[in-house]
Amino acid sequence: MKIDVVSIFPEYLAGLQLSLIGKAVDQGLLDLTVHDLRDFTFDRHNTVDDSPYGGGAGMVMKAEPWALALENILDEPKAAGAGTPQKSILIVPSPAGPVFNQRIAEELSEAEHLVFACGRYEGIDQRVIDWSAEHFDLRPMSIGDYVLNGGEVASMVMIEAVSRLVPGVIGNPESLTEESHEDGLLEYPIYTKPASWRGRDVPDILLSGNHGAIARWRRDRRLELTAEVRPDLLAELQDLDKHDRAVVE
Ligand code: 6GU
């Protein structure tokens, strides 16, 4: 998967070189490039913003540097995949987008090319957003109902959630299926040695060796926890059997 990020703070994205994502880049599983929007300005001050037409507080990111940066990305050669090439997906982090979730992460993990346009200030001139829809599969995307200063942190959140689903990025693919949000339930509590710690014991059943009983116990804890802290997730689930329903009620 090719991932391009455009930002006026490319250093912000440096964290992506660490840990699993960094390793995936080193291994060639991800081709990740961070571009500095100011490289696409030609005035002495490398201006990327200006005051809003119609007045109002704050500044607006100018259209032309964005168009040049995005055209530069589209002009770069891409690895030839099988069949007809997919349109590059342009993700524009914005509190005014649909809210990113695990389903969307799964969908995006199958894309050949993702581009993240990190806006700052009050946002980007609408005309370059409209223009981009003619060249990209345009996806405005929020990461939750709160306000951030710019799209960098939101992009890192989405890149991490998507990249770990790309085949090979996580060593043990089983760890992907046994996770919160993967099937709509939160994860069960986990324990490691010692079996007794500061007067707190690991639940007996986990030491029993009875794998069926352990699986049932874990599912029950997941159902209980989800009912307690995220009843909204539970309401969306269709496949609860009679036993599941008894645990939740
Ligand atoms: Cl994606 N961007 C910004 N700037 N703020 C946000 C957001 C994104 N998601 C929630 N708040």
Domain coordinates of the chain in residue numbers?
2-163, 186-248
Question: Whole-model pTM?
Answer: 0.93
Q: How far is the CA of 157 from the centre of ligand 1 (A)?
A: 11
pLDDT for the residue numbered 183: 87
pLDDT for the residue numbered 53: 98
Pocket test for ligand 1, best of 142, 146, 155, 162 (most atoms within 8 A of CB): 142
Q: How far is the CA of 141 from the centre of ligand 1 (A)?
A: 8
Low-confidence ranges of the chain (pLDDT < 50): none
- Closest ligand 1 atom to the C-alpha of 145? 10
The CATH number of the structural domain formed by 186-248 is 1.10.1270.20
Name the superfamily (CATH) of residues 2-163.
SPOUT methyltransferase, trefoil knot domain (3.40.1280.10)
- Kindly provide the ipTM of the predicted complex, given to two decimals: 0.92
The per-residue DSSP string of the chain comes to -EEEEEES-GGGGGGGGSHHHHHHHHTTS-EEEEEEGGGG--STT---EEPPTT--SS-EE-HHHHHHHHHHHHHS-----SSSPPPPEEEEE-TTSPBP-HHHHHHHTT-SEEEEE---TT-B-HHHHHHHTTTSEEEEEBSSSS--SSHHHHHHHHHHHHHTTSTTSSS-THHHHSSTTTSSSPPPP---S-SEETTEEPPGGGGS--HHHHHHHHHHHHHHHHHHH-HHHHHH-----HHHHHHH-
pLDDT for the residue numbered 242: 93
Annotated binding site for S-adenosyl-L-methionine: 119, 143-148
Residues 99-115 pLDDT 10s? 999 999 999 999 999 99
Residues 220-233 pLDDT 10s? 999 999 999 999 99
